[in-house]
Amino acid sequence: MEVVGIGIDLVDIDRVERMLVRHGDRLLRKLLTDGERGYVAGFSAPSSPVAARIAAKEAAYKALQSLPDARGVGWRDLEVRRHSDGRPHLRVYGRAAELMARHGPLRFHLSLTHSEQTAGAVALLVKGQGDLG
Q: How confident is the model over 15-66, as pLDDT tens digits?
A: 999 999 999 999 999 999 999 999 999 999 999 999 999 999 999 999 999 9
Running DSSP on this structure, what letter comes out for residue 77? G
Domain 2-127 is of which CATH architecture?
Alpha-Beta Complex (3.90)
Domain extent listing, the chain: 2-127
102 pLDDT band, cuts 50/70/90, is very high
Distances (CA, A) of 16 to 8, 37, 45, 56: 18, 14, 11, 14
Residue 130, SS3 per DSSP: coil
Alpha helices in 7-132 (DSSP H): 13-31, 34-40, 47-64, 94-102
